Structure 1
Amino acid sequence: MKKARFVIAMALSASMLASQPVPVTVGWSTLKTLNSAQQSSPARALDNQLVSIPGFMVPLEDDADQVTEFLLVPFAGACIHVPPPPPNQMVYVKLQHNQKAKMSFAEPIMVTGHLHVATVDSPYGDVSFSMDGDAVRPYEQ
C-alpha cells in the first residue's frame, strides 16, 4: 500500500512539473525590435509571456541592500552618469510575492517573469517594458 501511494505521489509530482510553463530566454536584440511605428514585431509578440532576460540592475530604491523594483538594462553602468538606453532597451521589474533581490550594479543577472509591452515612467525616462518578476539569479553563460 505504501509503495502504491509513493508511485501515485511521484506521478502527480512529475505531471505538475511538466505542466509548469518554461520561460523563453529573450535577448536584447529581440527587445530592440519594438518600435512605436510598427504594429507587430518579435518584441510585441512577447507581451504577457513568461520570459528570462539577462542584463544588469539599476536599482530604483536608494540606500538598500535588497530591492523590490529595478530597471533591467543591457550593459553595466547604464543610466549612471551617462544618457540612459532607449526605452526599448530597458525593462521595469517589480518583484512579486514580497521577494527581494540583492542589489548589484556590476554583476550580470537573469530575471524571469511575465513581460508586458507597456510604457512605464521612470526616473531615467520612459521604459517600453514592464515585468512581474518571479526570480532573479546570477547570470551564467
Structure 2
Amino acid sequence: MLNRRNTLLLLSASLAAPRAALAATPREIAWDDLIPPGVPYSEIIGEGELDEVNDLWNPIYDANGVKLNEALNDAYIKMPGFIIPFELSAEGVTEFMLVPYVGACIHTPPPPANQLVMVTAEKPWPGDELWNPVWVTGRMRTQLQSTDLGQTGYSIVADEIAVYEW
C-alpha cells in the first residue's frame, strides 16, 4: 500500500529519471564526422556557376554533398561551430544554422548540406555573442532541410550552448 510519503518519493524519482538520461556524456564530434565514412572531403565540393545578374556564385554539389552520416542520427553530441541566426529576439537567438567557419552562407556560397546544421535552442543564446565560436550540445538528427541560406543536412535540439575556448 502506498502512503503519502512513498507516493511522493515515487513521483520525484519518476521526474528525475528523464534528467538523468539527459545527463549522459555527449560524443564530441568534428565537422569531418558529418561526412559519411568512405566519402573523401574533396568529393563533397561541387562545381558552380556565376549568376552575373545577381553577382552570386551558385555552387552545384553532386550526390556526395548531400550524403549524411547516418551513424549520427539520434546521437547525443557536442560540436563546435559558428552561429548564423534565423530567430533573434531581445532574449537572444533560438534558431540558427551552425556553420564550420565564420562567414559561411553569408560572404561565400554555402557549404554542402552535409556541412550545415540547423539548431533549435531550448535557451536563447545572447545576441551580443553571435560572432564567437560556440560548442553546441544536444540530440542530432540526419534531416535534409532547405533554408534561405542553403540546404542543411543535420538538425540539433540544443540543450546547452557554450563559448568555444581554444
TM range (shorter): 0.7 to 0.9
| SS in structure 2 of the partner of residue 61 of structure 1 | strand
2:26 to 23, 26, 47: 23
Q: Is the 8 A contact 1:76 1:105 kept in 2?
A: no
Change (3 A) 1:121 1:140: same
RMSD: 2.8
| SS in structure 2 of the partner of residue 71 of structure 1 | strand
| SS in structure 2 of the partner of residue 30 of structure 1 | helix
* Structure 2 unaligned regions, length at least 5: 1-18, 40-62
Q: Structure 2-normalised TM-score?
A: 0.64
Q: Percent identity?
A: 34
Q: Is the 8 A contact 2:91 2:124 kept in 1?
A: no
Q: Structure 1-normalised TM-score?
A: 0.75
Asked if residue 132 in structure 1 is aligned to residue 157 in structure 2, the reply is: yes
Q: Which runs of 4+ in 1 moved over 2 A?
A: 16-20, 32-37, 61-65, 103-106
1:92 to 98, 104, 118: 118
Structure 2 match to 1:82 = 108
Structure 2 match to 1:101 = 125
Larger radius of gyration: 2
Structure with the larger helix share: 2
Matches within 5 A, 1:1-141: 20-33=23-36, 43-61=69-87, 66-96=92-122, 99-103=123-127, 104-141=129-166
